[in-house]
Amino acid sequence: MSVQTWTFLIVGLSFALYLYIAFRARAGSTSEFYVSGSAVHPVHNGMATAADWMSAASFISMAGIISFMGRDGGVYLMGWTGGYVLLALLLAPYLRKFGKFTVPNFVGDRYYSQTARLIAVLCALMISFTYVAGQMRGVGIVFSRFLEVPINTGVVIGTVIVFFYAVLGGMKGITYTQVAQYCVLMFAYLVPAIFIALMMTGNAIPQLGFGGQLSDGSGVHLLDKLDGLSTDLGFPAYTSGVRPIIDVAAITLALMVGTAGLPHVIVRFFTVPTVRAARSSAGWALLCIALLYTTAPAVAAFARTNLLKTVDNAVYAELPAWFANWEKTGLLKYEDKNADGRVQYYNDKNSSPEFQAKVAAAGWRGNELEIDRDIMVLANPEIARLPNWVIGLVAAGALAAALSTAAGLLLVISTAFAHDFVKCAVNKNISEKGELMCARIASAAAVVIAAYFGINPPGFVAQVVAFAFGLAAASFFPAIIMGIFQKRMNREGAIAGMVVGIVFTAAYIVWFKFIHPDRNVPANWLFGISPEGIGSVGMLLNIIVAQLVSRFTPEPPADVQKMVEDIRIPRAVREG
């Protein structure tokens, strides 16, 4: 069967499964809609958390970034992995013990302020809409290639699917749907990785093949081969790093602390019955996440090596069919600038004088190939000439990754509106049925807005997601960490810190990505920190402002300080 037929079959079966699960597990109360009735088994919750966590950025874009940026792309791997550990060990158990299943609810009660709650609602909406834009864009890319429709049409198709199982099922339906999506996305990620590792290195374990020798009898290690291919084309060695160290540190920090402030991940620790179960599900989630994250660097290296060996100086008319298929999407572009019928792919901007001399001698006229980094994982099985069913499986996995996170984010948006805004601020006497209806209406509206951002994204998938993490780092993380570990932090300090942090970070991102994208170069960045890493500076500003303001304003009420002690210190220890 053809690639398109396999894709229709596998994607269709997986979608049917998701919709069936969502229907059978549909929510009948606000408790089931928001936190699945706090009755999910820790193992199931761990798998659902992993699916919620491993978005289109993890499945589609992370390996693509690493394949293009080499060592510098590892900041995403380090930041997201370290961030989950930080969340699971430092914040999740305390938030679960506090008993408030949304971040705005925690902020509003901990800082005894409706103003703080409303600011937290606005922050949650900004973060979630930024994050979901990347997911819907990923859905559009997958549908564009494998169903041979325009990217915008693909976004609309994905929007309709998410609408049904997110709006109908709520957290209960989403949780069990995400368990199925985790199984699909991990199988889809590991199968081609194992096949390609065997083909290239003779080792069935991708992580070992990544550091092993090629199986072509040359005795050359994979990374040495990739370094040579990169430098021959005027690029830095794959294993070298060119990004400033301060920017690497800032991006890693922003991703880590932003992770710990992501509302759609935090809420998952309230779907289990006890604090102990929350800790257990965090461990299971970390194990599930590690399977993909430790495989991503190998996938990136395999993809770049195969791509360079296939297209470098190749005759355009003799290129494999996958090249033409991706050209149709507009995500891969070829322009024969010197009319020689060959593909010259090289670095024509910042390469060495020696390489420039080589370019002049060869008569090249600038780089002729443009590749969107988001296609690397999806095109990898085709480049490696794996069976068509594997290509269709990868499409299903990518959709599972994008849709699982999109559903979780849409639930955060609906919860922030219905519970934290309508229930807690506008109409405290609203009935449970009315609140549930508000949540579903908010989900429907959020789906439409998410589709718009998917059609008009502010960057490639992982970059957009990095912006969301930066906003979370600058707003929620300081408010949560100080709210748990510092009794003296009051509402005035928390409000001032959140406002300063998120306004500074959002303004910096908008300035360089939308208003003046032509100035988005290291020479113009504050302290040499890119928009992807500026959330770390926003976090520091948040903490500094909050500390200063809290010192010159009244202490929190005694009952709030006692509540903070109760969260942090076990009762037996306190009584002893």
pLDDT of 534 over the 70 cut: yes
Tell me what the pLDDT averaged over the chain comes to: 79
Report the predicted TM-score, pTM, of the whole model to 2 decimal places: 0.77
Q: What is the pLDDT of residues 322-366, one digit of tens each?
A: 888 888 877 888 888 888 888 888 887 777 777 888 777 777 777
Confidence at residue 172, expressed as pLDDT on a 0 to 100 scale: 57
Percentage, residues of the chain above pLDDT 90: 5
Report helix, strand or coil for 369. Answer: strand
Q: How far is CA 179 from CA 42, 241, 276, 313, in A?
A: 12, 37, 21, 45
Which tokens in the block code for residue 59? Answer: 């499945």
- Residues 6 or more apart whose CB falls under 8 angstroms from that of 128 comprise 263, 264, 409, 410, 412, 413, 416, 446, 468
Reported confidence tier of residue 571, pLDDT bands at 50, 70, 90: low
**pLDDT top residue among 29 and 120:** 120
pLDDT of 15 over the 80 cut: no
Mean pLDDT of 530-550: 91
Reported confidence tier of residue 38, pLDDT bands at 50, 70, 90: low
Confidence at residue 573, expressed as pLDDT on a 0 to 100 scale: 45
pLDDT of 208 over the 80 cut: yes
Mean pLDDT of 371-391: 84
Confidence at residue 127, expressed as pLDDT on a 0 to 100 scale: 75
Reported confidence tier of residue 99, pLDDT bands at 50, 70, 90: low
Reported confidence tier of residue 465, pLDDT bands at 50, 70, 90: low
Confidence at residue 569, expressed as pLDDT on a 0 to 100 scale: 64
pLDDT of 310 over the 80 cut: yes
pLDDT of 416 over the 50 cut: yes
Q: Is 323 exposed, middle or buried (0-12, 13-18, 19+ CB in 10 A)?
A: buried
Q: Taking a C-beta distance cutoff of 8 angstroms, is the pair 231, 319 a contact?
A: no
Q: What is the pLDDT of residues 46-97, one digit of tens each?
A: 887 777 777 666 777 788 888 888 888 888 888 877 877 777 777 777 777 7
Confidence at residue 537, expressed as pLDDT on a 0 to 100 scale: 93
Reported confidence tier of residue 39, pLDDT bands at 50, 70, 90: low
Q: What is the pLDDT of residues 425-464, one digit of tens each?
A: 677 777 767 777 777 777 777 777 777 777 776 555 555 6
Percentage, residues of the chain above pLDDT 70: 86
Backbone angles phi, psi at 472, to 5 degrees: -65, -40
Mean pLDDT of 232-239: 84
pLDDT of 37 over the 50 cut: no
Confidence at residue 480, expressed as pLDDT on a 0 to 100 scale: 86
pLDDT of 542 over the 90 cut: yes
**pLDDT top residue among 539 and 156:** 539
In angstroms, rounded to a whole number, what is the distance separating the alpha carbons of residues 372 and 490?
47
Mean pLDDT of 367-378: 82
Reported confidence tier of residue 168, pLDDT bands at 50, 70, 90: low
In angstroms, rounded to a whole number, what is the distance separating the alpha carbons of residues 324 and 334?
10
Confidence at residue 549, expressed as pLDDT on a 0 to 100 scale: 94
Reported confidence tier of residue 538, pLDDT bands at 50, 70, 90: very high
* Amino acid at the residue 449: I
pLDDT of 407 over the 90 cut: no
Q: Within 10 Å of residue 521's Cβ, how many Cβ atoms? A: 9
